[in-house]
Structure 1
Amino acid sequence: MSQTRQLHLGAILEGVGTDQNSWRDPALPSDASVNIDWYIENAKKAEASLFDLVFIVDSPYITPDTAPHFLNRLEPLTLLSALATHTSRIGLVGTLTTSYWEPYNVARQFGSLDHISRGRAGWNVVTTGLEGAARNYGRDEHFDHAERYDRALEFVRVVQGLWDSYEDDAFVRDKAAGLFLDKSKLHKLNHKGKFFRVDGPLALQRSAQGQPVIFQAGDSDAGRNLGAQIADGAFAAAQDFEAGQQYYADLKNRAAALGRNPDHVVVLPGLFPTLADTDEEAQRLHATQEEALSLDKLLVGLGRAFNYHDFRQYDPDAPFPDLTGVTLNSYKGHAEKIIRVAREKGYTLREAAWHLGRWKSPFIGGPETVADEIERWFTGRAADGFNLRVTNPRDFQIFRERVVPILQKRGLFRTRYEADTLRGHLGIPVPENRNASPLAEAAE
């Protein structure tokens, strides 16, 4: 495996899109978010271009105003299991909440995906931002923000413990001697914590990469602390270079303070480029896309951070409204940032919606210009790589066929896969089994 720092690339397969207009692209199947052929085709294209992973986002709550992709999409683990049988090298990462599942189920699901894919699974750990999800799982109220993160930490530790139920050589499988299992190498977890009681063991051995890779994307202080504790990879929400540098340094410093190797926490901001043959053409295309944004849709986007609070009830040209009493128990970090920036800038609601109710990308231009910006973020330690939004067929084609070769020519991105597992692609070591003899003895 190469020891030189190299760029990592993920592909967020977003189907008909997480904005309000992508689904209207004539080249995009209007049922892409539930069309398995669309996912298979794009996963294969990402693998042919040597991407590290494909990523499936998820959330257990919608409203009629939710973005098209969120309204009607396939469940991540089912989808990724299908993709595993049509790909051979690319990583397979899916979102699953710790707030409304149980650790034993999650350990089985992602452990199974890891075996089906021969060591390519990754779990994006989320605590669920949208409060409405509670009523889909038999609760009147969502877990408090701080409690969600405490629960998430214990949840992940239980899952990781279950993944280590068997030592790596536990299955003897000696047909002549009639010995299938060395029972001394099967271990119960016997976990009794604040939120969970799980005896174990899990009926599944470790995978080719030891355990699935853990990703996390929280941007609040609690979210960053959780990422520093558990994450092998972080999906960052930075929308400009300086914010990227700040997040990158902060998360790596938090990990180092906990005794972790910060190089083993891979930071991947979202990448939403507007690409064309020339910079001028890309800027014109971007301007056209901006003109298509309606205030109504921008206000819906702004409200998502506040559990889809309806900002359409306010005068758009009045000062940004007082949100005293409006919940910050959804996407807390994002919601607090919206309030802070709107007050600091003195935004009207219209201005806040325009500046804060949508994703603003600095990656606009021809292939060389976008490659230059990617390189600036990478060498400037604002990113270890990027998660590319995949919905528009044209942009994905230009990126694969014209941007990736530039990055390869500059020595930034691989020219062939050097590993078979997701951990191998990301340069993250296989975790030691806590029940292997040296570790077990040290714990006694």
Structure 2
Amino acid sequence: MSDTTSHHGRRQLHLGLMFWATGTHTAGWRYPGSKADGAYDIEFIQRVTQVAEAAKFDFLFLGDRLATDPSLAATNPAQMSRLEPFTAASAIAAATDSIGIVVTANPTYSDPFTIARLTASLDHLSRGRASWNLVTGADAAAAANYSRDEHWDAEARYDWADEFVEVVRALWDSWEEDAFVRDQGSGRFIDPSRVHAIDHVGEHFRVAGPLNVARPTQGQVVLLHAGTSERSRELAAREADVVFAGQATIEAAREYYADIKSRAAVHGRRADEVLILPGLSVIVAETTADAVAVYDELNALLPLDPEDVVVDSVRFGGLGQGLKRNLASVSRVIGVDVTGNEADAAVPASLAEEVNDEGRRILDRITTLTRRRVGGEAPITYRDLINGIARQGAVVVGNPVEVADHLQLWFETGAADGFNVFPDFVPGSVDAFARLVVPELQRRGIFRTEYSGRTFRDHLGLSVPANRFAGREAVRS
């Protein structure tokens, strides 16, 4: 039995933890109890992972970027500076037993042999828990760090990535499982007929092989990919075991889910072989009021920009662009001039009739997250509007039942196979989710109470793929 179904045959959701040491909220590092220097404290990183493992999360996710900018300190400190992910992953593997470990590596600025070697090595030392998050890199600043005159466009990056994956998969298979004889009596260490050169000659790569690491414990390391472009959807549907999604609404998530599953079928894959996990920021507390208070406290730690600052966008690193945090930005978005008001003053009821369609969507979203309403007993404030126009993915704020309801609705109505949980502050958000939400999901029978195996493939309900070279004669010994 796999972790995809329970003892009663009921489909089980999957949970990953996006590890940003300072939290996925811009001000997460300032929240009480957070560890501002956690990105470089390996014992802290290990402890957080152990909490996720005790809660039976499928995996911990380590992101990466190949460029930085000190200005990110004000917008995205977690992505500004952190440990190289394979190094961190090795230390995490040594302190855990079961949780999957996702490591980001960008093929645009690497070679297939290097990535195959790193991922296979991590899979061995973690005893089958490694995963490669393939990103082609949307950050043009990386080119200047890798002796490139320019960052390739998306078509060039995906042409490269498609062939890159083909080579890496072949290298993972270049040693058959029984290639190592290790007979101390006879002195026969390997069976050379079970070791294969790949002799790949393609448009971008010429790689002889074999890899200098035995076949990964999982056979093929779990592959993750994210993206919404046509090329990224195709790569995900053809190659990925897990697909990260970023849709903010359930309607958009359902459309994406259906699209990826149908594309996978075209490539001869079953729907349950491609798992789609949207990112989700979760703020949970014992009561709804307490959760909203945490949400408000986090946002209150974000400084406001002066209104006389020219209204333009702010870089958020890998999160793209965001507007200045002031009422001038709000005015531009909702179509009504609200400049000159105090941030914590209540918005008048008349505003709901004056705003444009986007303004109405923002007001509805603010009500969903804060339970406040324009003209209500607990009124929406101008600060709420400033927070409301911020670029956000999916967010849920509430008590354990409300959060579990949100997850279950997405899970059971064709929007998700699980979630990549974004902790706004660390370790507090991780602790709260593990303590409050996981038991509620387990009570409902839609999340495991124990791991059914040790490998990441076990958690995902995926079998070990057959070796493509099995039965072939070695190209050379």
What is aligned with 2:371?
A: none
User: Is 1:240–2:281 an aligned residue pair?
Assistant: no
- Residue 219 of structure 1: CA displacement? 1.4
* CA separation of 1:151 and 1:409: change in aligned 2, threshold 3 A: same
What is aligned with 1:359?
A: 392
What is aligned with 2:367?
A: none
User: Is 1:33–2:77 an aligned residue pair?
Assistant: no
Please give the secondary structure, in 1, of the residue aligned with 2:105. strand
Superposed CA deviations along residues 402-422 of structure 1, whole A, max 9, x for unmatched, are: 211111111100111101100
Match of 1:281 among 279, 285, 290: 290
- Residue 395 of structure 1: CA displacement? 2.4
- Residue 111 of structure 1: CA displacement? 0.4
1:11/1:55 contact within 8 Å kept: yes
Which one-letter code corresponds to 2:441 in the other structure? L
1:302/1:356 contact within 8 Å kept: no
Task: Give the TM-score taking structure 1 as reference length.
Answer: 0.86
* CA separation of 1:317 and 1:82: change in aligned 2, threshold 3 A: closer
Superposed CA deviations along residues 182-203 of structure 1, whole A, max 9, x for unmatched, are: 1111111111111111111101
Superposed CA deviations along residues 103-139 of structure 1, whole A, max 9, x for unmatched, are: 1000000100000001000000000110010000000
Please give the secondary structure, in 2, of the residue aligned with 1:169. helix
User: Is 1:44–2:53 an aligned residue pair?
Assistant: no
Larger radius of gyration, structure 1 or 2? 2
2:284/2:432 contact within 8 Å kept: yes
Match of 1:128 among 126, 132, 137: 137
* CA separation of 1:301 and 1:269: change in aligned 2, threshold 3 A: farther
1:367/1:398 contact within 8 Å kept: no
1:252/1:265 contact within 8 Å kept: yes
- Residue 207 of structure 1: CA displacement? 2.6
What is aligned with 1:71?
A: 80
Match of 1:410 among 424, 444, 449: 444
- Please give the alpha-carbon distance, in whole angstroms, between the structure 1 residues aligned to 2:15 and 2:470: 33
What is aligned with 1:340?
A: none
What is aligned with 2:365?
A: none
Superposed CA deviations along residues 139-170 of structure 1, whole A, max 9, x for unmatched, are: 01001111111111111111110000111111
What is aligned with 2:188?
A: 179
Matches within 5 A, 1:157-306: 157-294=166-303, 296=305, 304=317
What is aligned with 2:414?
A: 381
Deviates more, 1:411-420 or 1:171-180: 171-180
Match of 1:59 among 48, 65, 70: 65
Please give the secondary structure, in 2, of the residue aligned with 1:43. helix
- Please give the alpha-carbon distance, in whole angstroms, between the structure 1 residues aligned to 2:393 and 2:169: 36
What is aligned with 1:112?
A: 121
Deviates more, 1:186-195 or 1:107-116: 186-195
What is aligned with 1:426?
A: 460
Which one-letter code corresponds to 2:66 in the other structure? P
* CA separation of 1:434 and 1:140: change in aligned 2, threshold 3 A: same
* CA separation of 1:146 and 1:414: change in aligned 2, threshold 3 A: same
Which one-letter code corresponds to 1:80 in the other structure? A
- Please give the alpha-carbon distance, in whole angstroms, between the structure 1 residues aligned to 2:437 and 2:416: 17
- Please give the alpha-carbon distance, in whole angstroms, between the structure 2 residues aligned to 1:163 and 1:303: 36
Superposed CA deviations along residues 298-324 of structure 1, whole A, max 9, x for unmatched, are: 966566479769989xx847868xxxx
Percent identity between matched residues is 42
Q: Which has the higher contact order (CA 8 A, sep 6+)?
A: 2
Query: Structure 1 unaligned runs (5+)?
Result: 321-342
Q: How many residues align?
A: 414
- Please give the alpha-carbon distance, in whole angstroms, between the structure 2 residues aligned to 1:237 and 1:185: 42
What is aligned with 2:434?
A: 400
- Please give the alpha-carbon distance, in whole angstroms, between the structure 1 residues aligned to 2:317 and 2:155: 20
- Please give the alpha-carbon distance, in whole angstroms, between the structure 2 residues aligned to 1:307 and 1:386: 21
What is aligned with 1:436?
A: 470
- Residue 431 of structure 1: CA displacement? 1.3
4+ residue runs over 3 A deviation: 287-312, 315-320, 343-347, 350-357
- Please give the alpha-carbon distance, in whole angstroms, between the structure 1 residues aligned to 2:450 and 2:320: 43
* CA separation of 1:239 and 1:114: change in aligned 2, threshold 3 A: same
- Please give the alpha-carbon distance, in whole angstroms, between the structure 2 residues aligned to 1:37 and 1:212: 26
Superposed CA deviations along residues 6-25 of structure 1, whole A, max 9, x for unmatched, are: 11111111101344211112
User: Is 1:370–2:403 an aligned residue pair?
Assistant: yes
RMSD: 2.8
* CA separation of 1:109 and 1:296: change in aligned 2, threshold 3 A: farther
1:299/1:357 contact within 8 Å kept: no
- Residue 99 of structure 1: CA displacement? 0.4
* CA separation of 1:255 and 1:400: change in aligned 2, threshold 3 A: same
2:314/2:322 contact within 8 Å kept: no
1:303/1:310 contact within 8 Å kept: no
- Please give the alpha-carbon distance, in whole angstroms, between the structure 1 residues aligned to 2:223 and 2:386: 33
Please give the secondary structure, in 2, of the residue aligned with 1:12. strand
- Residue 280 of structure 1: CA displacement? 2.5
Which one-letter code corresponds to 2:446 in the other structure? L
- Residue 284 of structure 1: CA displacement? 3.4
1:153/1:230 contact within 8 Å kept: no
Which one-letter code corresponds to 1:75 in the other structure? E
* CA separation of 1:303 and 1:120: change in aligned 2, threshold 3 A: closer
- Residue 286 of structure 1: CA displacement? 2.2
Query: Structure 2 unaligned runs (5+)?
Result: 334-355, 361-381
